[in-house]
Structure 1
Amino acid sequence: MVVAPFGNPLNLSNRDTLAGCAALALWAFLAPLARLALPLPPLLLTALGFAAGGLLGLIVVAARGRLALLRQPPLAWLHGVGGLAGFHALYFAALALAPPVEANLLNYTWPLLIVLLSAPLRGLPLGPRRLLGVALGAAGAALLLAGGARFPAEALAGFACAIAAAFTWALYSVLAGRLARVPTEAVAGFCLASAALTFVAHLAWESAAMPGPRQWLAVLLLGLGPMGAAFFLWDIGMKRGDPRLLGTLGYATPVASTLLLIALGEGAFTWQVAAATALVAGGGVLAARA
């Protein structure tokens, strides 16, 4: 067992690392819930999801009598809102300016970046076993996402946005450990501020739309899970858990999401899915045993 500079044991039994794993599990439901919310415009869906997650979080924070914890210094707000809203803005820009398969593939460099940035930004050693584990995960994600991928020059701006989104999320995640004094309750405020920013972006760039009952259900479920509880759990995992292991396990998210879509009848279980599952699982085992 390795002891981190912050005094926490870094292995899978660490409950804070398990909180981060729970966030990854919840993010696997993002794609199925986004399908349920169709045809809502993506920025509007993001704004509503942030609002639902932020409001639900605010209710919990208020019930615990900890609303005062939302008063944080400007640096904390820059980190929280910049990470949440910035990542989603860049990701949706990438999807608009580049082919979605290629944009998604480049965006999923964020788990690798989290692992690599953990050394210079958090002072955490890597080692060959961890690097091999994240390499296997990256190979699995590439096998799953890169079928028929092409990178035309005219989509260069979109590819740049996808890479910027990956860097934004990786920096937001790893730097959370440097802001360990900012309580997780503050994430509720960051979600609400991100909701306001993305709603303004929706008004500027998308046509107005009114959610129906099915879309409101999707928004509520997003707020409960992938765009609500997941952000709080990820904050805990990144501040007090092992970012190297969580970064490696991040590659399980696209695989789990694909398996969920297949279970819902929106895809087929192919050899690529099976191989990607095996590679990601093997990489996760290697990283967990490092």
Structure 2
Amino acid sequence: MATLYGLMAIGLWGTLALLGTVTANIPAFQLLSLCFTLSAIIIVIKRIAVKKPVFTKPTLTLTQWLFGITGLFGFHFCYFMALKFAPVIEVSLIVYLWPLLLATLVANKQSRFRALIGGGLGFIGIAFIIVGNGELTLNSEYRIGYLLAVICAVIWGSYSWFLSTSNNDVEDIAWLSAAVALLALIAHWLFETSYWSFSLSEWGGILLLGLGPVGGAFYLWDIALKKGNQQLLASLSFSTPLISSVILAIAGFNAWSANIIIALALILSGAIIANMKIKPAVIKASN
């Protein structure tokens, strides 16, 4: 069941691009602050529903606070900053090195090579989606953006790995969300101009983002990496851009492309290789 939660989180992240088209006019950090506020409210509503105390002391250690805030806020901060210094295609592709990093971190010594091969195939698969028929040009003038994108990948891969080793209560994500909402609000004041003339569709987009890919999905991911099949989840994380492409194509924002089929084949092949169980050879002793 925990692995299914992880697949649900991946599916929710696949809706991010579509919901992003609805909220495109909202400054990034302002939107992030609103979404993480909703993420924290999820647990408040849950506790009211089950008649539990609304506010309880978090069980997070200092290390868990640091990893949690760095993972949830640091990732988004570096991503938004990377987009200011480099084109979105290159940034997106570099950021999606994180499933490859996660796959190698959660693999044991016997399966690490297969994890690298499978992750490599998955990465090639998402390149067909992200780059598409466009042009990928790594230009030295964008090196700051590339560096920030690499930091994004390291942050999210490391944070996801840390979740698999951590024993904090999943509801503590609400406290982390509140902290991230505050930091995002500060970043908004520093870097952006406020925009509050939200249309009804924008309010809907904010609500869906906060309940889904920029909120609720983090609770699901936390449970999945603590109790689910971490290697499989790392492999299938490559499918997020694929899901986005399919959803955008269905909604009429993207054209259907053979790249979708190629990406699907590569991602599934990579997942099969990375999760293949090799039976140890049995050596019979001679009499």
Q: How high is the TM-score relative to the length of structure 1?
A: 0.88
Give the aligned partner of residue 268 of structure 1: 255
CA displacement at 1:247 relative to structure 2: 1.0
Equivalent runs, 1:121-136 vs 2, <5 Å: 123=108, 125-136=110-121
Q: Which has the higher Rg, Structure 1 or Structure 2?
A: 2
Q: Is the 8 A contact 1:111 1:247 kept in 2?
A: yes
60-69 or 199-208: bigger deviation: 60-69
Structure 1 letter corresponding to 2:156:
W
Which residue does the alignment assign to 2:245? 258
- State the match for 1:246 in structure 2: 233
Q: Which has a greater percent of helix? A: 1
1:268 is paired with a residue whose SS is coil
2:210 corresponds to 1:223 = yes
The amino acid across from 2:121 in the alignment is L
Q: In the alignment, which residue of structure 2 is the partner of 1:24?
A: 10
Asked if 1:111 is matched to 2:96, the reply is no
Secondary structure of 2:183's match? Answer: helix
User: For residues 254-277 of structure 1, what are the alpha-carbon distances to aligned partners after superposition, in whole Å with 9 as ceiling and x for unaligned?
Assistant: 000011001111111112222112
Alignment of 1:1-290 (within 5 A): 15-64=1-50, 65=52, 67-68=55-56, 70-119=58-107, 123=108, 125-146=110-131, 147-180=134-167, 182-210=168-196, 211-290=198-277
Identity %: 34
Structure 2 equivalent of residue 3 of structure 1? none
Give the partner amino acid of 2:119: V
2:210 maps to a residue whose letter is G
TM-score, reference length from structure 2: 0.89
Q: Distance in 2 between matches of 1:77 and 1:59?
A: 23
In 2, distance between residues paired with 1:169 and 1:232? 15
Q: 1:36, 1:218 within 8 Å by CA — same for their partners in 2?
A: yes
Q: Is the 8 A contact 1:132 1:286 kept in 2?
A: yes
Contact 2:82 2:148 in 1 (8 A): yes
User: Which amino acid counterpart does residue 198 of structure 1 have in structure 2?
Assistant: A
Letter of the structure 2 residue corresponding to residue 78 of structure 1: L
Deviations 1:16-39 (A, max 9, x none): 122111110110011111111121
Q: Distance in 2 between matches of 1:190 and 1:277?
A: 34
Q: Structure 1: where are the runs of 5+ without partners?
A: 1-14
What do residues 45-78 of structure 1 show as CA deviations (whole Å, max 9, x unaligned)? 1111111122123321454426425243222211
Q: Call closer, same or farther: CA 1:209–1:113 in 2, change over 3 Å.
A: same
C-alpha root-mean-square deviation of aligned residues, in Å? 1.7
2 CA distance for matches of 1:71 and 1:63? Answer: 21
Q: Is the 8 A contact 2:69 2:180 kept in 1?
A: yes
SS in 2 for 1:149: coil
The structure-2 alpha-carbon separation of the partners of 1:254 and 1:205, relative to structure 1 and needing over 3 Å to count, comes to: same
Closer, same or farther: CA 125–87 of 1 in aligned 2, 3 Å: farther
Distance (Å, rounded) in 1 between the aligned partners of 2:253 and 2:175: 35
- Deviation, 1:246, is 1.0
CA distance in 1, matches of 2:74, 2:175: 15
The question of whether the paired residues in 1 share the 8 Å contact of 2:102 and 2:158 is answered with: yes
Alignment check: 8 A CA contact 1:105 1:145 kept: yes
Cα–Cα, structure 1 residues 61 and 71, in superposed 2: closer, same or farther, change >3 Å? Answer: farther
Q: Distance in 2 between matches of 1:74 and 1:156?
A: 33
